[in-house]
């Protein structure tokens, strides 16, 4: 590099510019941003949340029914299996076998056909909490007539209430 004193000067300003250019450094470290940008992560998480909110109701097998709520339900994990036989009774008395609407009179034959090659002869009944008792009894009778070994009545867990009375102590205590 040629020193600024050896350069021909046409004026004092040009010498200053040449001298300033020769010692100027690029400070790349000052431009680095060390902050983490979380905006893309938040966008991805919101999309995943929306997907799960849309998909979750679709995972329920069969027809959606407002089942009765009980304090001590018996867990029936097999009711969620793909090959589980579900009979749903709606509030207005409509009966569904799986997702197909069916008359109570033809329910016995359909259940017999589906149970023909199965070793586990279990059928689950989902009845609406406000369905008429007589409709539920007709469906249970039709399923039993098909030769069902096990009949599961599906219910929901009642949420505990803070003002619920404490259970009475057992006699003899």
Domain at 86, CATH number: 3.30.420.270
Q: How many CB atoms lie within 10 A of CB 89?
A: 23
pLDDT score, position 133? 92
Burial class (CB in 10 A: 0-12, 13-18, 19+), 19: middle
Say if residues 54 and 80 touch (Cβ distance below 8 Å): no
Q: Spell out the SS3 assignment of 48-73.
A: HHHHHHHHHHHHCCCCCCCCCEECCC
Q: Is residue 34 part of a domain?
A: no
Query: Is residue 96 pLDDT above 60, yes or no?
Result: yes
Q: Is residue 44 part of a domain?
A: no
Local confidence band at 141 (pLDDT 50, 70, 90 cut-offs): very high
Mean pLDDT of 102-119: 89
Q: Is residue 118 part of a domain?
A: yes
Q: Is residue 130 part of a domain?
A: yes
pLDDT score, position 145? 92
On average, the pLDDT of the chain sits at 79
Residues of the domain holding 109: 69-157
Q: Is residue 108 part of a domain?
A: yes
Model pLDDT for residues 17-71, shown as the tens digit of each residue: 555 555 667 776 667 777 888 899 999 999 999 999 988 777 766 677 888 888 9
Q: What is the DSSP string of 56-118?
A: GGGGS-S------EESSPPP-GGGGSTT-EEEEE-TTS-EEETTEEE-HHHHHHHHHHHHTT-
Q: Is residue 112 part of a domain?
A: yes
DSSP designation for 129: T
Report how far residue 122's alpha carbon sits from residue 163's, in angstroms, rounded to the nearest whole number. Answer: 38
User: Between vectors from CA 98 to CA 130 and to CA 78, what angle results, nearest 5°?
Assistant: 90
Q: Is residue 45 part of a domain?
A: no
Number of domains in the chain: 1
Local confidence band at 172 (pLDDT 50, 70, 90 cut-offs): very low
Say if residues 139 and 107 touch (Cβ distance below 8 Å): yes
Q: Is residue 30 part of a domain?
A: no
DSSP designation for 152: E
């Amino acid at each position: 590099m040629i020193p600024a004193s050896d350069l021909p000067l046409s004026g004092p300003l040009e010498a200053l510019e040449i001298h300033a250019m020769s010692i100027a450094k690029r400070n790349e470290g000052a431009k680095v941003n060390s902050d983490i940008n979380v905006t893309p992560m938040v966008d991805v998480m919101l999309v995943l949340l929306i997907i799960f909110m849309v998909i979750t109701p679709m995972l329920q097998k069969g027809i959606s029914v407002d089942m009765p709520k009980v304090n001590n339900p018996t867990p029936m994990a097999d009711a969620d299996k793909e090959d589980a036989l579900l009979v749903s009774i709606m509030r207005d008395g409509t009966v569904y076998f799986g997702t197909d609407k069916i008359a109570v009179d033809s329910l016995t034959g359909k259940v017999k056909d589906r149970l023909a090659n199965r070793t586990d002869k279990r059928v689950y009944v989902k009845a609406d909490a406000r369905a008429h008792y007589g409709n539920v009894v007709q469906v249970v009778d039709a399923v039993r007539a098909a030769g069902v070994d096990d009949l599961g009545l599906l219910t929901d867990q009642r949420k505990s209430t803070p003002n619920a009375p404490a259970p009475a102590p057992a006699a003899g205590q």
